[in-house]
Amino acid sequence: MNILIMGPAGAGKGTMSDRIIQDFDIPHISTGDMLRESVRDNTELGREAKSYMDSGRLVPDELINALVEERIQKDDAKKGYLLDGYPRTLAQAEKFEKISNSIGKAIDIVIALDVEFDTLARRITGRRVCPNCKEIYHIDSKPTAVPGICDKCGTKVIQRSDDTIEQLKVRMEEYENSTKPVIDYYSNKGLVVHINASQTPEAVYAQVKEALGKVA
């Protein structure tokens, strides 16, 4: 099954993705991880991407599209894939449709996680991250056993500089302007299932799994 998961920052895409890939045995493909992997493996596309990243420039759509095309054809994606963070724009969506159709890897379903701003704000501002092992916590829903100290490695957890109301407003504006049209694009093709992601992770995933079960 070929899945695209979408939603604003704090919607729970990471949590849902972890459960989906475990239950459906498909790889979780995010553009950030994909870029780092291609650079680490020193592939031709990875070397090209690195030249942009090292100079502080944005990696162009053409290169991102090529990296995604390469990634979804790897052996671990034979059963399908879970895309996260791509396509971000209407131009990427239109290009990816051509790419995926040409290799028989078209998207089967788009999971759109819908969350109200106040809920996102609580999730984002309460998030804490271990700078050492990258474990993620939340002061309300997943606090550390010892206040402020990572359960796994004992490092002091931090609040990321972009986990603020101000930054959330910027990201939401960007989401509305760039990513929302992508959801509309797939909605017109009948591929989108909207999920109320303001609920508990268990309740949200129950809806997600039900939606995926109708496609599998």
Strands (E), 46-116: 81-84, 109-114
**Residue 4: its H or E element:** strand 2-6
Query: Can you tell me the distance from the alpha carbon of 121 to that of 192, in angstroms, rounded to the nearest whole number?
Result: 25
Give me the catalytic one of 78, 160, 169, 189: 160
- Active-site position among 71, 105, 127, 128: 127
Q: Which of 19, 88, 180, 209 is catalytic?
A: 88
Q: Given 13, 71, 95, 128, which residue is catalytic?
A: 13
Kindly calculate the radius of gyration of the chain based on its CA atoms and give it in whole angstroms: 18
**Both tokens assigned to 161:** 């500089």
Pairing between strand 109-114 and 192-196?
Answer: parallel
Q: Is 160 a catalytic residue?
A: yes
122 is catalytic: no
The answer to whether residue 123 is catalytic is no
CB half-sphere exposure, 67, CA atoms < 13 A = 31
Orientation angle between helical segments 31-40 and 44-54, nearest 10 degrees: 110
Q: What is the DSSP letter of 175?
A: I
- Active-site option among 19, 36, 122, 171: 171
The residues with which 128 forms a beta bridge, in sequence order, are 137
Q: Which residues are catalytic?
A: 13, 88, 127, 160, 171
